[in-house]
């Protein structure tokens, strides 16, 4: 279902506020900001989590489980995500009482009123690019507000209220949320068909990005020209007379990174914009992260920051949780966790992991392998992309495939992780293991891994539990 933008009031005028599914990655950061602004904030979720506990520490009254009584008598606004169904008892109570019910994107837009909105969208790379932009602006002294789809690795939080003019947000296209935000600078990392259960066709999906880039408040569009979909959109926007700043490795990019040099724990390149050129050194690996950093750099320059301020600040970015996050380096085995769940994202993560594996082999003299542990996410996505998942897993030496994390979807007969296994076999993946139960994955990976190997868990579901459990097994080995 696609959302239609609605009228927004300033956040200070809508409280007290209750968040349903407050522990979600998109919800917890917004709830935190309402509490930090002094607005009485409550929240509930079906299960306990570190996100709920983190909200509790900043003054949010949190509940585990759903009950109509948790929507207090003085609540004026209830905030939901797209995953909350109308049958939810708290939402039903809000409807019964005629309370204001906002989608989380509306609640976030209310926080952005009066700020310079920087909305970062794209099929892939949104979280890291948003995080890089927020960290860069903070390190450069701009003190931005921000809401990111994942916590920063250095602070463990995904949002903050700053005193500066910039408000940086991760803009979700899956349900057209990105059309709600008062955006001044629109960033588009790529446009590759996804979420067609909502959008219907690739053409409609691409048109959604055009609507985002041409919103009534947008002054500048920062856009990747290495990706076919976003390059086509950039050409369309230029023809329409829009102000566009392009970035990428392409020779015609306004902000161009080139002369790439992988390192065991990061990446280096030269970044050039007009007459300014110099080294960009990142603590996170992969060409995709150099591209993400180039987008952030373009935002910084559009806001008036200098070249040195931007590259120095980007060099201090340490990543976000679940984006090529190092879990452990124990017994000669490195274990990473990554949120990648679309074939293009998996390709980027495995390409970076392959370079890190080769750099590690060169440094140690071992012949380590790349072991990819993939948990498909959503039955619809698995059905749409099973063949592509199987093909991209060829980048690994060993593929360990889990069953599907269905999340918000009901099971579909015949759609299981075995579809990915069959596709991987067709595409000639060298070694394949199907481990149906996720709690069996740590033991399976421990048995497979040997010194010099790099193990990476992939998926946006609960496969994230596997790395820490594997780390404990490796510690016993060590």
Tokens, residue 260: 């790439």
State the pTM of this model.
0.78
Q: Are strands 255-262 and 267-273 parallel, antiparallel or unpaired?
A: antiparallel
Answer yes or no: is 124 a known binding residue.
yes
Query: What would the mean pLDDT of 66-78 be, rounded to a whole number?
Result: 97
Tell me if 123 is assigned to a ligand binding site.
yes
Does the pLDDT value for residue 266 go beyond 90? no
Quote the pLDDT of residue 145: 96
Range 11-103 has CATH code 3.40.50.720: yes
3-state class (DSSP) for residue 77:
strand
Query: What pLDDT is recorded for position 173?
Result: 92
User: Distance from first CA to last CA of the chain, Å, rounded?
Assistant: 50
C-alpha closest to that of 23 among 75, 84, 70: 84
Between 3.40.1190.10, 3.40.50.300, 3.30.70.260, 3.40.50.1390, what CATH number should domain 114-314 receive? 3.40.1190.10
Whole-number Å distance between alpha carbons of 146 and 469: 32
For 280-327, how does the pLDDT look when each residue is reduced to its tens digit (9 = 90+)?
999 888 898 999 999 999 999 999 999 999 999 999 998 777 778 889
Q: Using N-to-C axis directions, what is the helix angle for 104-112 and 25-36, rounded to 10°?
A: 40
Residue 194: the pLDDT is 81
Is residue 156 scored above 80 in pLDDT?
no
Average pLDDT over residues 202-225: 97
Across 239-261, b (16+ Cβ under 10 Å) vs e yields: eeebebbbbbbeeebbbbbeeee
CA distance 466 to 167: 34
DSSP 377: B
**Is residue 125 a known part of a binding site?**
yes
Confidence check: pLDDT of 114 > 90: yes
User: Cα dist. 403→370, 421, 436, 460 in Å?
Assistant: 20, 10, 5, 13
User: Where exactly are the structural domains of the chain?
Assistant: 11-103, 114-314, 325-477
Does domain 325-477 fall under CATH 3.90.190.20? My reply is yes
Residues with active-site annotation = 126-127, 170
At 149, the pLDDT band (50, 70, 90 cuts) reads confident
Smallest CA-to-CA distance from 103 within 201, 188, 204, 20 is with: 20
What secondary structure does DSSP assign to 143-172, as a single string?
--EEE-SS-BTTTS-SEE--SSSEEEEE--
For 362-383, what is each residue's pLDDT tens digit? 877 888 999 999 999 999 999 9
Express each pLDDT in 12-46 by its tens digit.
999 899 999 999 878 999 999 999 999 999 999 99
Percent of the chain topping pLDDT 90: 81
User: What pLDDT shows up at residue 40?
Assistant: 97
Q: Which two tokens stand for residue 215?
A: 């919103």
- Is 394 labelled a binding residue? no
**Alpha carbons 73 and 97: distance in angstroms, whole number:** 10
pLDDT tens string 418-464? 999 999 999 999 999 999 999 999 999 999 999 999 999 999 888 99
Alpha carbon separation from 15 to 148, 427, 464 (Å, rounded): 22, 54, 34
Question: Which pLDDT score is estimated for 465?
Answer: 93
């Amino acid at each position: 279902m696609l959302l239609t933008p609605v009228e927004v009031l300033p956040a200070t005028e809508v409280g007290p506020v209750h968040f349903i599914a407050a522990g979600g990655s998109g919800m917890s950061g917004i709830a935190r900001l309402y509490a930090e602004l002094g607005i009485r904030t409550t929240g509930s979720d079906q299960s306990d989590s570190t996100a709920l506990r983190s909200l509790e520490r900043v003054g949010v009254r949190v509940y585990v489980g759903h009950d109509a009584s948790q929507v207090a008598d003085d609540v004026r606004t209830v905030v939901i995500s797209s995953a909350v169904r109308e049958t939810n008892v708290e939402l039903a109570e809000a409807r019964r009482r005629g309370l204001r019910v906002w989608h989380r994107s509306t609640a976030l837009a209310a926080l952005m009123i009066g700020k310079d909105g920087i909305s970062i969208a794209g099929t892939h790379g949104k979280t890291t690019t948003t995080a890089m932009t927020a960290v860069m602006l903070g390190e450069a002294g701009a003190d931005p507000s921000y809401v990111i789809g994942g916590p920063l690795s250095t602070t463990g939080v995904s949002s903050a209220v700053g005193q500066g003019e910039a408000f940086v947000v991760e803009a979700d296209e899956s349900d057209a949320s990105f059309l709600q935000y008062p955006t001044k600078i629109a960033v588009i990392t790529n446009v590759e068909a996804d979420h067609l259960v909502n959008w219907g066709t690739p053409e409609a999906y691409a048109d959604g990005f055009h609507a985002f880039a041409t919103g009534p408040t947008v002054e500048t569009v920062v856009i990747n020209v290495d990706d076919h979909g976003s390059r086509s959109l950039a050409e369309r926007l230029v023809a329409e007379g829009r102000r566009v700043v392009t970035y990428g490795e392409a020779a015609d990019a306004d902000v161009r990174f080139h002369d790439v040099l992988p390192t065991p724990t990061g990446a280096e390149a030269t970044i050039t914009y007009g007459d300014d050129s110099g080294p960009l050194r990142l603590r996170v690996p992969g060409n995709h992260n150099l591209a993400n950093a180039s987008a952030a750099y373009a935002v910084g320059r559009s806001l008036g920051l200098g070249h040195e301020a931007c590259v120095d600040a980007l060099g201090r970015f340490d990543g976000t949780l679940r984006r090529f996050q190092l879990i452990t380096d124990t017994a000669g085995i490195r274990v990473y966790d990554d949120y990648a769940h679309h074939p293009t994202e998996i390709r980027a993560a495995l390409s970076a992991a392959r370079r890190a594996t080769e750099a590690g082999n060169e440094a140690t003299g071992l012949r380590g392998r790349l072991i990819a542990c993939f948990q498909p996410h959503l039955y619809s996505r698995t059905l749409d992309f099973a063949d592509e998942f199987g093909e991209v897993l060829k980048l690994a030496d060993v593929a360990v495939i889990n069953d599907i994390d269905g999340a918000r979807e009901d099971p579909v007969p015949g759609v299981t992780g075995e579809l990915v296994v069959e596709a991987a076999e067709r595409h000639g993946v060298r070694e394949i293991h199907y481990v149906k139960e996720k709690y069996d994955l740590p033991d399976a990976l421990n048995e497979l891994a040997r010194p010099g190997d790099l193990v990476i868990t992939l998926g946006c579901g609960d496969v994230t539990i596997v790395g820490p459990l594997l780390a404990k097994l490796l510690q016993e080995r060590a």
